[in-house]
């Protein structure tokens, strides 16, 4: 396990602020010792949570062209047939994964192929499980075209706490299943839009692991 590069500015700033406060508390004490100890412990816990948020776990992965793997850690909060208005403009199976602030926030390619579409959309910061967050929040949309099974769309959606979506995909670039394509800071959500013929393997409320859990299988 290592720390993600997107966390460098946040981690440096957080560490400087926490240790600056600790230095002041212990060198110019104006509070009772018990309260200084309590505040110090809380600050170190918060700093530990920030470091934990930017963790990148080592996950061995073997690509499988028949499967669509989870693009993120989290909990499945929606499985439904919907109209996808941005790219396909037709009916698709939407599978939504909610990422809490304690989840790993790396995003992985759910299938392999070529990136055929990428768009970033500025927007609002509704809570990530809100039905309108998929179309009104800050978000990035990526479509990967598999040479056999066609296209799958996945969308990174900012939540109420998230203020930055990082997407490394670019149109025309290769996409390798199970490799990193982005990162979202703090609470957020990732939506998958699958062909109607896909067989969904997850259920509502199920916890999934990015680049490990099989979300669906192509019917071919």
Strand order in the sheet with 106-108: 106-108, 180-184, 165-167
* Residue 112 DSSP SS3: coil
Structure tokens at 3: 């720390």
Rounded Cα distance between 10 and 12, Å, is 6
Q: Identify each DSSP E strand in 33-171 by its residue range.
A: 55-56, 67-69, 74-84, 90-99, 106-108, 113-121, 139-146, 150-158, 165-167
For residue 188, indicate whether it is catalytic: yes
Number of helices (H), then strands (E), belonging to the chain: the values are: 3, 16
Which H or E run includes 38?
Answer: helix 33-53
Rounded Cα distance between 140 and 64, Å, is 25
**Active-site residue (options: 14, 40, 188, 212):** 188
Rounded Cα distance between 97 and 120, Å, is 19
**Which residues are identified as catalytic?**
188
């Amino acid at each position: 396990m290592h720390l993600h590069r997107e966390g460098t500015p946040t981690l440096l700033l957080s560490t400087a602020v926490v240790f600056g406060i600790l230095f002041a508390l212990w060198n110019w004490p104006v509070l009772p010792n018990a309260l200084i100890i309590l505040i110090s412990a809380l600050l170190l816990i918060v700093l530990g949570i920030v470091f934990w948020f930017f963790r990148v776990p080592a996950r061995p992965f073997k690509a499988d062209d028949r499967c669509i793997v989870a693009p993120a850690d989290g909990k499945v909060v929606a499985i439904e047939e919907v109209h996808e208005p941005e790219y396909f403009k037709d009916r698709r199976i939407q599978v939504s994964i909610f990422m809490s602030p304690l989840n790993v926030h790396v995003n992985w390619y759910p299938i392999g192929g070529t990136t055929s579409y990428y768009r970033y959309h500025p927007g609002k910061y509704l809570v990530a499980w809100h039905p309108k967050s998929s179309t009104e929040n800050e978000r990035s949309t990526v479509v990967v075209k598999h040479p056999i099974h066609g296209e799958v769309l996945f969308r990174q959606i900012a939540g109420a706490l998230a203020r930055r979506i990082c997407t490394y995909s670019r149109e025309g670039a290769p996409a390798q299943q199970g490799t990193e394509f982005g990162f979202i800071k703090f609470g957020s959500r990732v939506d998958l839009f699958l062909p109607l013929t896909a067989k969904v393997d997850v259920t509502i409320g199920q916890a999934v692991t990015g680049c490990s859990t099989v979300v669906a299988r192509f019917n071919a």
